[in-house]
């Protein structure tokens, strides 16, 4: 792998792979997968020279292939010791054009870089290494989109799980993360070599890689079990940290705040309940860490919300661990803990009380306007909580809350500000609805909140295998009045064909004025367990789908969690 001699910018030469003795080049050698984590990346070494103002174009493969192009800031050139190359096709001799300035001269060269085939654990054939992405509709203005998909593979043949002795906890919840980038043709242009960081036989290696976000500096953050990470798109480690000792069992969400801190969804490693029991708690804590990884604050949701509200839990799992028959839920947390059946197991099971999966927080956002957090608790609803640990509002059906928390439930209103009164069947006029077992509850930048309403357990109905729907929803919340107005919804009309009972995401994209939606677990409840997620971008405030991709999993148990748009302008 080498370059040709310098050419005028924009020119190229006949494709060939130079022999090893092809002669001197302006730059140094090409190193594929330089940081061992991203096999479809490379660095063209600068050969010890000071180059600048670089531009990269990875040419599309074949007729209709999509070329990836981006500018490279000088600091990236200096950091990597050369030109970073992102977006190579696997098992292909890629043509890569680079332009840069050297000694005052503008140089353009074309390189030929072979990237190896996708290599991931537990695959039977190369065609099944990753789910297949199929374009359905591609808008010309969005053709250059790159999407990062975060899937989880729960069935791990031959796995030897690590076990540890602890009362409760989610530490043994383990999945192989399947994480890759696709262009709008459906071609793989990047993937994470998960075997470099995942190992089910080690405490610090197990878990599910989840919560991928691209930070303001263009890098990726995510977490996995007892660790959380920040890497650039070439796989260079910025930090790889163990959770603070007081906490444990990361999954689902890590989110950067406007202050440069990070919010992580965790449990606790050692928690003293009011009844004297010491347990590991399950998906019910949020911590905030600074750039050094120091904990600057945390939210204990079992003391902020109501860990004994089981109304929705009963619809999701008949085996829910709850208060004994005949025992009425009290307004007092301490009384409820004392009333628990001593035989109720602790651990990662649906149930009430600290030490069980009563909340299942799956998303966090930060509101810089008042320095509050917004929490999506799948088994309860959406809550906004202040720095003082007081609930500002609840976006959830009013059923089952304590008297104090019921006053925080938002009142549904229409566009005229008129109250919408709940009917006997739990529905509301004018198509208003709460979100049910929702995923993601994020601020849109327009003063609104977007939520993916999964719809499992809608209006406390038992699980059913058909006749369901999910929605992407936008709400306008008036905190001063304590009201919520439903501005927009999408997906209801698509019914079972778009229904995702778990996971998924909706996020407003200002660059395209679209709602980006990944309905990530379509067909999850079918016996085949081969999910068929749908990625859609919908024109803001409308029902117009301007871009859509379908994803087909070839492995049972390979379930979509989220997806996001990759912004190369920030990355390099």
Give catalytic residues, as residue numbers.
439
Q: What is the DSSP letter of 315?
A: H
Per DSSP, which regions of 415-467 are E strands?
439-443, 449-453
Nearest residue to 119 via CA among 193, 186, 31: 193
Report strand pairing: 285-289 vs 51-58. unpaired
3-state DSSP: the chain helix, strand, coil percent, rounded to 5?
A: 10, 40, 55
**By the 8 A CB rule, do 38 and 190 touch?**
yes
Judge contact between 68 and 183, C-beta under 8 A: yes
353 class by beta-carbon count within 10 Å (0-12 exposed, 13-18 middle, 19+ buried): buried
Rounded to whole angstroms, how far apart are CA atoms 206 and 227? 9
Which of 262-295 are b and which e, b meaning 16 or more Cβ less than 10 Å from the residue's Cβ? bbbbbbbbebebebebebbbbbbbbbbbeeeeee
Q: How far apart are the C-alpha atoms of 83 and 107, rounded to whole Å?
A: 13
Give one word for 217, left, alpha or beta, with left for phi > 0 and alpha for psi -120 to 50: alpha
Give the C-alpha separation, 517 to 63, whole Å: 29
Spatial CB neighbours of 291, under 8 Å, sequence gap ≥ 6: 260, 261
- Cα–Cα distances (Å) from 252 to 211, 268, 277, 296, 362, in that order, read 5, 15, 27, 20, 5
Instruction: Say if CB 152 and CB 175 are below 8 A apart.
Output: yes
Match 């929605």 to its residue by tokens.
Answer: 471
Phi-psi region of 2 (alpha: psi -120 to 50; beta: other; left: phi over 0): beta
Q: Which of 236, 253, 230, 184 is nearest to 565 (CA)?
A: 184
CA-CA distance, 72 to 199, in Å (whole number)?
34
Between CA 247 and CA 251 the distance in angstroms is: 12
Please give the Cα distance from 36 to 83 (Å, whole number).
17
Pairing mode, strands 381-385 and 391-395: antiparallel
Closest CA to 418 of 407, 427, 430, 426: 430
Do the strands 483-490 and 411-413 form a parallel or antiparallel pair, or are they unpaired? parallel
């Amino acid at each position: 792998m080498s370059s040709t001699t310098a050419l005028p910018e924009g020119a190229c030469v006949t494709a060939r792979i130079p022999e090893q003795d092809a002669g001197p080049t302006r730059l140094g050698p090409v190193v594929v997968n330089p940081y061992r984590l991203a096999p479809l990346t490379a660095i063209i070494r600068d050969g010890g020279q000071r180059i600048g103002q670089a531009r990269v174009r990875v040419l599309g493969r074949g007729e209709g292939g999509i070329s990836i192009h981006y500018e490279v800031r000088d600091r990236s050139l200096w950091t990597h010791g050369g030109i970073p190359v992102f977006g190579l096709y696997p098992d292909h001799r890629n043509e890569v054009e680079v332009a840069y300035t050297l000694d005052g001269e503008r140089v353009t060269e074309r390189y030929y870089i072979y990237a190896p085939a996708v290599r991931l654990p537990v695959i039977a054939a190369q065609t099944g290494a990753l789910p297949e992405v199929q374009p359905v509709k591609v808008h010309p203005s969005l053709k250059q989109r790159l999407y990062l998909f975060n899937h989880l593979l729960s069935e791990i043949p031959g796995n030897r799980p690590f076990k540890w002795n602890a009362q409760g906890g989610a530490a043994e919840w383990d999945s192989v993360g399947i994480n890759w980038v696709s262009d709008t043709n459906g071609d793989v242009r990047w993937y994470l070599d998960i075997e470099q960081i995942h190992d089910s036989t080690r405490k610090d290696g197990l878990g599910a890689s989840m919560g991928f976000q691209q930070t303001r500096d263009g890098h990726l953050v995510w977490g996995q079990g007892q660790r959380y990470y920040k890497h650039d798109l070439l796989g260079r480690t910025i930090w790889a940290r163990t959770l603070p000792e007081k906490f444990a069992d990361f999954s689902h969400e890590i989110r950067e705040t406007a202050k440069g801190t990070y919010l992580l969804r965790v449990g606790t490693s050692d928690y003293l309940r009011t009844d004297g029991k010491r347990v590991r708690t399950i998906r019910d804590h949020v911590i905030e860490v600074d750039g050094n990884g120091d904990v600057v604050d945390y939210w204990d949701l079992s003391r902020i919300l109501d860990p004994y509200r089981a109304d929705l839990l009963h619809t999701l799992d008949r085996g829910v661990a709850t208060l004994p028959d005949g025992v009425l839920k009290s307004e007092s947390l301490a009384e409820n803990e004392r009333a628990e059946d001593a035989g109720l197991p602790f651990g990662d099971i649906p149930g009430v009380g600290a030490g069980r999966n009563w909340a299942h927080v799956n998303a966090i956002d930060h509101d810089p306007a008042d320095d509050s957090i917004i929490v999506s608790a799948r088994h309860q609803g959406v809550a906004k909580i202040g720095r003082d640990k007081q609930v500002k509002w609840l976006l959830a059906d009013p059923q089952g809350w304590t008297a104090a928390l019921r006053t925080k439930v938002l009142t549904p209103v229409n566009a005229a500000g008129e109250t919408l009164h709940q009917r006997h069947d739990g529905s509301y006029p004018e198509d208003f609805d709460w979100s049910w077992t929702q995923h993601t509850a994020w601020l849109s930048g327009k003063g609104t909140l977007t939520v993916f309403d999964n719809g499992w357990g809608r209006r406390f109905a038992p699980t059913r295998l058909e006749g369901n729907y999910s929605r992407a929803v936008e709400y306008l919340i008036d905190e001063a009045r304590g009201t919520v107005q439903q501005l927009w919804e999408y997906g209801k009309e698509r019914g079972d064909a778009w229904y995702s009972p778990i996971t998924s995401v909706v996020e407003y994209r200002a660059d395209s004025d679209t709602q980006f939606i990944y309905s990530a677990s379509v067909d999850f409840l079918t016996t085949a367990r081969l999910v068929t997620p749908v990625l859609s971008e919908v024109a803001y405030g409308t029902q117009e789908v301007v871009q859509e991709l379908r994803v087909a999993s070839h492995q049972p148990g390979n379930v979509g969690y989220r997806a996001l748009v990759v912004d190369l302008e920030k990355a390099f």
